[in-house]
Amino acid sequence: MNRILAETYPDAHCELDFANPLELLVATILSAQCTDKRVNMVTPALFAKYRTAEEFAAADRTELEEMIRSTGFFRAKANSILGMAQRICDHYGGEVPHTLKELVTLPGVGRKTANVVLGNAFGVPGITVDTHFGRLTRRFGWTKELDPVKVEHAIAKLIPKAEWTMLSHRLIWHGRRICQARRPACGVCPLAALCPAYGEGPTDEATAIKLVKSGPFS
DNA sequence: ATCCCGAGGG
DNA sequence: CCCTCTGGAT
């Protein structure tokens, strides 16, 4: 299945628009529970107004909230951006740090966000277990784990490190285009013949979680 | 386990 | 109406 994914999505890549590590970090924070398409609608104005960690840290909270409102969770995200920028100024000389350990100390930055920045801004192999990655690897029967960290470790044993970042992009692309949460398009899926969840696949994530827990996939 | 919190699809 | 979208902090 991994080989077919690679052949189907040879050019899969991060679909958030960014020009430097700081922009990617901000865009990834905004992408929580939000489509990247919508993130890309608010970031041009945002990145024109705030260009450095210093400028983000000095941003007016209300103005920042209004600019990112449509991405949802806007108060929490504004708070994360302000705190993250402040800490980058205080502890990292205004530059986005390059390690997972340092990145996850930033407010609003968890393991998933840190791996996105490492993989796409710094070229460090990383597995980014988001909603798509978890759903697809469970449907494929690659893992039964629900905890993102356990999913990450399980896949790390199955796939060579050099492929981690591209696999993440490919699963996300496939999840967006074909293997959608609510209505997977099994009829046009290039993995159909190999997929344990073909046809009788769950049609929504809540159902999927219940089925995985009761153990029909193995 | 629950909260944050908006937009779009079915 | 209900679910989902590249989660993280409490």
Q: How far is the CA of A94 from the C1' of C5 (A)?
A: 31
| Alpha helices by DSSP H, chain A | 2-8, 21-30, 36-49, 53-57, 61-68, 74-92, 100-103, 111-121, 131-139, 148-158, 164-177, 205-214
pLDDT tens digits along A153-192: 999 999 999 999 999 999 999 999 899 988 899 999 999 9
Rounded Cα distance between A61 and A200, Å, is 48
pLDDT tens digits along A1-50: 999 999 999 999 999 999 999 999 999 999 999 988 999 999 999 999 99
CB-contacted nucleotides of strand B (7 Å): 4-7, 10
The residue among A116, A134, A112 whose CA lies nearest residue A124 is A116
pTM of the model: 0.88
CB atoms near residue A99 (< 10 Å): 12
Question: Which residues of A are catalytic, by number?
Answer: 112, 130
Interior CA angle at A203 toward A27 and A112, to 5°?
Answer: 25
Q: What are the C-alpha distances in Å from A122 to residues A162, A171, A198?
A: 14, 21, 37
Residue nearest the C1' of B9 (CA based) = A182
Q: How far is the CA of A76 from the C1' of B4 (A)?
A: 6
Rounded Cα distance between A196 and A49, Å, is 48
Contact A59, A50 (CB under 8 A): yes
* Smallest CA–C1' separation from A32, nucleotide: C7
**Which residues have CB under 7 A from strand B?**
A 33-35, 38, 69-76, 182-183
